[in-house]
Structures are given as C-alpha cells and as structure tokens.
Amino acid sequence: MFEIRRAQDRGRGQHGWLDSRHSFSFANYMNPERMGFSMLRVINDDEVAPGAGFATHTHRDMEIISVILQGTIEHKDSMGHVLQLQAGDVQRMSAGTGISHSEYNASQDEILRILQIWIVPDQQGIEPGYKQLKLSDSDAKLQVLASPDQRNGSMLLHQDAVLSMARLLNDEELSVALNTGRKYYLHMMAGEASVADFTLAEGDALTLENESAFHVHAKGGAEFLLFDLP
C-alpha cells in the first residue's frame, strides 16, 4: 500500500529568520493525522537566514539527525563539540538524559538549508552522544546513514530503524527489497522520480506498507531519504 504526501500539504512556520516546512505536527502546526509515522516523529525542512539560527536549547530522549543540504552550520553542544558542518554532512545527536545545543548559519550572506529529523528512541535515559559522517561520493546508489548495528559504517541509532539516502543520476533506476512486516517512509530531497504510479518531486513523501519491494526511476536526477521503521 502506497500513500502520497505532497510537499504543498506540509505545515509551514515563517519567523523572519526561519522558513520551515513541517512534514508532521510541530510547533504551531498541528494536524492530528500527521503526528508522525511509526517511530519517525519530525522532518523539518529549514531555511535559516544568514547569521541567524537556533539559540541554545535542550532536548531529552530523542534521536536527532540533521542533513545539511546547503550552506554551513555552526554547531555547539554541552558535550564540548564546537564545529562546522557543510552541505553533504550529516550529524546525529542522541539526546538521552539531556543535551543542550545551538545551531547557527555560519555564513553572513548565504542561506542555510537543513533537514532536521527526530526519531523516538527505543529506550529512555541513555547517555547522550554525538556522531557525524559525510554523504558518500561513491557509485553506490543507496547509502546507510544510521542504523542500530552501525552497518556499512553508518551512525548508531538507538531504535529498530534504518535511515538511508539514495542518489540517482538522470534516467537511473533503483529497486529496493522490503520486509512486508515493516513500515517505510520515502522523503524526496531533490529532483524528480517515479515510484509505482506516482511522480515525486522535492518535498514530496511516500509511505509504504505491506509491500515486498519498490522501484524508482529518476527523471533528471533524484535524491531521497528512505526510513525503514518498525
């Protein structure tokens, strides 16, 4: 079973320095039918104005993943990490018992664009942790970003879930085998692709349940995230 979720149907928060599109209920956007999908709770597509950002704040008991799509982000946290991440970098914070951090656009003239993802962990009160990696520039079409067993060099995820990213060139195709007992969520990051009878563009999403496989055909190139969820 497939269900399409179009980009224009997402919630939106505009705060001057921040233009955010919410795939699920978040902040002032509340949709009882969009409270998350399995253990996936948040996907926010954020555009942050030059020099602006999120002041220091605290999270608990959440797996937080940021995918840098454009620009450079300056990250500081209560574990002592002070660093900059650029487009093509991915970071994961396990908030656990509590972690405070700030995220700012390091540029004074370029917009920062990031995907912020929250996944509910399988246990509470774990020790906070931080990890980062770069998106692969290899010929592999599908890269695992985070998983509970850190497969293929991926970041540790404290949940029975796997986050992967696919990057396809124009007219490339990809077939992915699925477990019919699992739930899957596909989020288009860029480009255009066809899946089943749907054409997906940037910001669109597709849920997949009780399916044994799906096939993607890129049109002009395509990048998407795939969540494998309990």
Per DSSP, 127 falls in state P
Q: How far apart are CA 163 and CA 61, in angstroms?
A: 18
Task: Please give the DSSP secondary-structure letter assigned to residue 100.
Answer: E
Residue type, 43: I
Q: Which residues contact 23 (CB under 8 A, 6 or more apart)?
A: 5, 10, 34, 42, 43, 44, 45, 187, 205
- pLDDT tens-digit readout, 26-40: 999 999 999 999 999
Give the per-residue pLDDT at 140: 72
- Residue 137 has a pLDDT of 75
Q: What pLDDT score was predicted for residue 55?
A: 96
Q: Where residue 52 falls among pLDDT bands split at 50, 70, 90? A: very high
Residue 184 has, within 13 A of its CA and on its CB side, a CA count of 22
Q: What six digits make up the tokens of 82? A: 């002070």
How does pLDDT run across 176-203, given as a tens digit for each residue? 999 999 999 999 999 999 998 899 999 9
pLDDT, tens only, 116-155: 999 999 999 999 999 999 988 776 799 999 999 999 999 9
pLDDT band at 79 (very low <50, low <70, confident <90, very high): very high
pLDDT band for position 170 (50/70/90)? Answer: very high
What does the alpha-carbon distance between residue 16 and residue 28 come to, in Å, rounded to a whole number?
15
Pair type for strands 99-105 and 142-147: unpaired
Q: Output the pLDDT for position 14.
A: 95
- Contact 99/59 with Cβ under 8 angstroms? yes
Alpha-carbon span 47 to 112, nearest angstrom: 6
**pLDDT at residue number 136:** 81
Q: What is the pLDDT of residues 83-121, one digit of tens each?
A: 999 999 999 999 999 999 999 999 999 999 999 999 999
For residues 133 and 152, the answer to whether their CB atoms sit within 8 Å is no
Residue whose C-alpha is closest to residue 71's, from 92, 83, 55, 85 = 85
Task: State the Cα angle at 212 between 207 and 134, rounded to 5°.
Answer: 60
Q: What's the topology of domain 2-229?
A: Jelly Rolls (2.60.120)
